[in-house]
Amino acid sequence: MLEKNNDYLSKIRNIGIMAHIDAGKTTTTERILYHTKKIRIIREVHDKSSGGATMDYMEQEKERGITITSAATTVFWQKHQINIIDTPGHVDFTAEVERSLRVLDGGIVVIDGKEGVEAQTETVWNQADKYQIPRLVFINKMDGVDHVENRFTACCQSLEERLYAKLLICQFPIGEYQGIKGIIDLIEEKTYYFSGEQEENYQVKEIPINLREKVQNYRQNLLEKIVTYDEKLGLKYLEGKLLTAQEIKSLIRKAVLSGEQFAVFCGSAYKHVGVKLLLDGVIDYLPSPLDSHQITVISNQEEKVISTFDHPHSLALAFKINNFSFAKLTFIRVYCGKISANSYVYNVSRDKKERVSRLVRMHANKQEEISEIKMGDIAAVIGFNHTKTGDTLCSQEEGVLLEQISFTEPVISLAIEPKSTQDQNKLIKSLQTLEEEDPTFFCHYNTETRQTIIKGMGELHLDVLVERLKSEFGVETKVGKPQVSYRETITKKKENVEGEYVKQTGGSGHYAKVQITFEPNEKGKGFEFIDNKRGQDMSDENAKEVKKGLEEAMLSGLLLGHPLLDMKATLLGGKRHEEDTQPGDFKMAAISAFRGSGIEERRKKAQELGVILLEPIMNLEVSNVSEEYYGAVLASITKRRGTVEGIEKKKETYLLKGKIPLAETFGYSTILRSSTKGRATHYLQFSHYQEVPPYIMEKLKE
């Protein structure tokens, strides 16, 4: 059992900052770095002359003014260490949010005060729910809005209505038509007036007389929501006794840590209002590793919950890999014990021993060497060769695995080749490096078309990766048109299908025979293999070969060569030959049972199993659509086989929500800009797979 270090752990906060694109997330992070003395000069996201924001260190981030990869840093505030991960806001890079949330204890969700909850806000909120991350809400951009308190209230309503969030309003803004002038703190019952200077110094004054009744109503509402989280303080409140500010803060903390309530802050990061108060909120209300000491592990294929203090060995999770010019970094979160420089760890996921050459704490792309990573901390390792995203690391060779990180499969692909044939090997190595870094990026060589195919989450995702090939790896490329990553599935059951693999080459040959029943599986359940063999003709090892063979065969489907989803295969039996059966023969027999041999037999199998083609359907949001262009936008969606499922009126514009096939979205941004004079914008996110209509299917077959 490892010794508790309560004081050290209680002063750590591992947090992520997340938002919809352009909500001001990176600007908020930049202000946090400035106020915690991590940087001396504030740099703005869109100011290219200053080099862009500190955390957006990639060339593509500086050029585009968006966050592409999550960046880590460590700051200190009120004698607390805050490990921060600034995550991207664009849906194409949502995997960066996913893997960050997996290792964080708390989060800040930044909301654009002018827009309220937006499409990607919903995505990151649901991701945070998935990992049960307590969070604060920072309603940003309260400068330059009409009647700031009304706008603040509208944002809170959108959080409650679209995210079903239970809010603890800890402060609210004051100001009229010139934007936010100050913040009223409901716990301390004070007003903070800001000068607008970078230092964000504020004057603390009493609450204006005309707002005191409103403050009491807000405060009463807050207290009624939190007193149920502590029996003793709840009783004190019911007895009519006043709660101290510290007691109220302890109740808010308990409510936030429960994951049921979310503390709300406000301000304007760009105008230097409210960021220091937000930092105080991080210390007061977000969890330390001490509060998150229960973790789920998998041991002997069974899930169990353990305390990070009770585990006898060090345990860590690798959640991100970055290849910098100076070294390859593997970012890890240590859950139990500690990991020291110049030591060895065991990669449980890969069954490999890894050397910890050096340890560094990162500030964007700058490094600070450290001697160890303690329990509850996040830092990076230099020296790993085999470790991948999601791997479990342990100080001893033992079979305990931490929960993996799940990622959405890519939905878009394109062919790529080097402009110079001399760069072919360089391209392959560069693609492998990018694939190692990004779990939603895949590349493979198509032997039929003799093309290298890359797959990603969207057009922007692949655009950025192609640009990186040139700027970081020195490989100029030619790319084809984006292609949809279709899928196939079966709709009919076929019983007692036989597959045979026989080959005689002189001497010992090859022989295996299998009998399998194929049937559709539940939607989204994937491939399910049932070993129902009888008798002694096949071993369990042979059955594993059958499963492996079917998994491989499903990768290229039966209809048009696309991966096949949601199939159940039941192994009924098989035969082997005492001398001729070799390792791998049952795998080949299983492939034969699934697809036969030759094109004609493959087509016959597809017909017997009722194979259909599936296409990715995207959630679509088109925002900032004025009355003038409403009809044109509606027509542009329906023309592309899209459906509009909801329309929201936002002041003078409309927000349209619906579904659209990915195949119909290529080049849509250009058409939308043209038909709305550049005013409307659209957002796409994968929703589900759906059967391709017959007339589209015929075109694809051609």
Task: Annotate 96-133 with three-state secondary structure.
Answer: HHHHHHHHCCEEEEEEECCCECCHHHHHHHHHHHHCCC
469 confidence band (pLDDT: 50, 70, 90): very high
Distance CA 226, CA 531 (A): 53
Q: Are 136 and 265 in contact (CB under 8 A)?
A: yes
Per-residue pLDDT for 471 more than 50?
yes
Average pLDDT of span 82-100: 82
What would the DSSP string read from start to end of 660-697?
EEGGG-TTHHHHHHHHTTT--EEEEEEEEEEEPPHHHH
Distance CA 395, CA 344 (A): 7
pLDDT for 64 equals: 64
Per-residue tokens: 276: 């220091």
Per-residue pLDDT for 528 more than 70?
yes
Per-residue pLDDT for 55 more than 70?
no
Domain boundaries, the chain: 6-210+263-285, 294-402, 412-485, 488-608, 615-701
The domain made up of 294-402 is a member of CATH 3.40.50.200: no
Average pLDDT of span 606-614: 94
Give me the CATH topology for the region 412-485. Alpha-Beta Plaits (3.30.70)
66 confidence band (pLDDT: 50, 70, 90): low
pLDDT for 53 equals: 56
Per-residue pLDDT for 378 more than 80?
yes
Distance CA 82, CA 275 (A): 14
Q: Phi and psi for 311 in degrees, rounded to 5?
A: -75, 135
Residue 448 CB partners (closer than 8 Å, separation 6+): 561
Q: Among 218, 293, 18, which residue's Cα sits nearest to residue 138?
A: 18
Average pLDDT of span 178-196: 91
List pLDDT tens digits, range 481-491. Answer: 888 889 999 99
CA 524 to chain centre: 19
List pLDDT tens digits, range 198-217. Answer: 899 899 999 999 999 999 99
- Determine which helix (DSSP H) or strand (DSSP E) holds 445, and give its type and residue range: strand 442-446
pLDDT for 3 equals: 44
pLDDT for 2 equals: 41
> Rounded to a whole number, what is the distance in angstroms from the first to the last CA of the chain?
66
Q: Are 342 and 354 in contact (CB under 8 A)?
A: no
Average pLDDT of span 547-565: 92
pLDDT for 4 equals: 53
Per-residue pLDDT for 70 more than 90?
no
pLDDT for 191 equals: 95
Per-residue tokens: 438: 């990004």
pLDDT for 450 equals: 77
pLDDT for 644 equals: 93
284 confidence band (pLDDT: 50, 70, 90): very high
Q: Are 200 and 192 in contact (CB under 8 A)?
A: no
pLDDT for 52 equals: 52
Per-residue pLDDT for 421 more than 90?
no
pLDDT for 360 equals: 92
SS3 244: coil
List % helix, strand, coil for the chain (3-state, nearest 5): 30, 35, 35
Per-residue pLDDT for 686 more than 90?
no
Residue 240 CB partners (closer than 8 Å, separation 6+): none
Per-residue pLDDT for 470 more than 80?
yes
Write the class of the CATH domain 615-701: alpha beta
Strands (E), 300-431: 302-307, 315-323, 328-336, 338-340, 343-347, 352-356, 358-363, 366-370, 372-374, 378-382, 392-394, 400-402, 412-418
Distance CA 320, CA 302 (A): 26
Average pLDDT of span 580-593: 89
Residue percentage of the chain with pLDDT more than 90: 54
Per-residue pLDDT for 56 more than 60?
no
324 confidence band (pLDDT: 50, 70, 90): confident
List pLDDT tens digits, range 588-605. Answer: 999 999 998 888 889 999
pLDDT for 300 equals: 78
Per-residue pLDDT for 234 more than 60?
yes
SS3 297: strand
pLDDT for 506 equals: 63
Pairing of strands 494-503, 510-520: antiparallel
Indicate the range of 121-125, 393-397, 534-538 predicted with least confidence: 534-538
Per-residue pLDDT for 577 more than 90?
no
The CATH number given to 488-608 is 3.30.230.10
Decide whether 412-485 matches 615-701 in CATH topology: yes
Per-residue tokens: 264: 């709300």
What would the DSSP string read from start to end of 495-528?
EEEEEEEEE--SSS-EEEEEEEEEEEPPTT---E
Q: Among 96, 73, 80, which residue's Cα sits nearest to residue 19?
A: 96
pLDDT for 358 equals: 93
SS3 154: helix
pLDDT for 448 equals: 61
Give me the CATH topology for the region 6-210+263-285. Rossmann fold (3.40.50)
Rounded to the nearest 10 degrees, the angle between the axes of helix 585-595 and helix 599-608 is 70
Any idea what DSSP says for residue 354?
E
SS3 543: helix
Average pLDDT of span 333-337: 92
Q: Phi and psi for 578 in degrees, rounded to 5?
A: -60, -35
List pLDDT tens digits, range 626-679. Answer: 888 889 999 999 999 999 999 988 777 888 999 999 999 888 888 888 888 777
**What are the angstrom distances between the C-alpha of 128 and each of 131, 132, 229, 256?**
5, 6, 22, 13
Q: Are 44 and 50 in contact (CB under 8 A)?
A: yes
366 confidence band (pLDDT: 50, 70, 90): confident
Average pLDDT of span 29-48: 79
Higher local confidence (pLDDT), 153 or 534: 153
pLDDT for 217 equals: 94
- Quickly tell me which residue has 């402009």 as its tokens: 419
Residue percentage of the chain with pLDDT more than 70: 94
- Quickly tell me which residue has 């997996």 as its tokens: 102
Q: Are 116 and 155 in contact (CB under 8 A)?
A: yes
- Write down how long the chain is: 702
- Determine which helix (DSSP H) or strand (DSSP E) holds 551, and give its type and residue range: helix 540-554
pLDDT for 634 equals: 92
List pLDDT tens digits, range 134-157. Answer: 999 999 999 877 789 889 999 999
Per-residue pLDDT for 567 more than 90?
yes
Per-residue tokens: 608: 């017997």
